[in-house]
Amino acid sequence: MMMKVSLPIAWLFGLAVLIVGCSSSQETTAPGATVSSSANAVSTDPQVNAILESSCYKCHSTGGSAPWYAVVSPTHLAANSASSVLNFSDWQTYDAQKRSAELKSIEHSVSAGAMPPADYTLFDRSARLTEDQKQALLKWASQSAVPTH
């Protein structure tokens, strides 16, 4: 006799298999290690660097690895890889004009609440920005931007 599995149970089982298959237990950096060092820090402000590391580097650096939920999020798929849009690992190689453009983009994205994206922070609560963190990033981005001509 064949048992009939209800559709919701089958859907939940499939979702669980997908999650387990996509998740990774490997870390790309040693526990407690930061992606940046003082030599290649993005900002002279340690608070800004800490915010970037906790909320941005997993997707926007080569040292970090986007977790499975970033890879399947619509935002990540639309960007076709966040580190190809902005890569903090390459920040020191950006010329003044590119840095200025990126800082303006960061300022716009953070003030609009677009970064970090909601579909990402839904799963990774540690990447969410507090109001104080947003203000620190906005201050840094607006003061660091060099006018382009």
Q: What is the pLDDT of residues 17-47, one digit of tens each?
A: 344 344 333 333 333 334 445 566 899 999 9
Judge whether 121 and 69 are in contact, CB under 8 Å.
Answer: no
pLDDT at 36: 44
Q: Is the pLDDT of residue 146 over 60?
A: no
First to last CA, the chain: 77
What integer is the mean pLDDT of 105-113? Answer: 95
pLDDT at 31: 34
Name the E strands within 1-135.
Answer: none
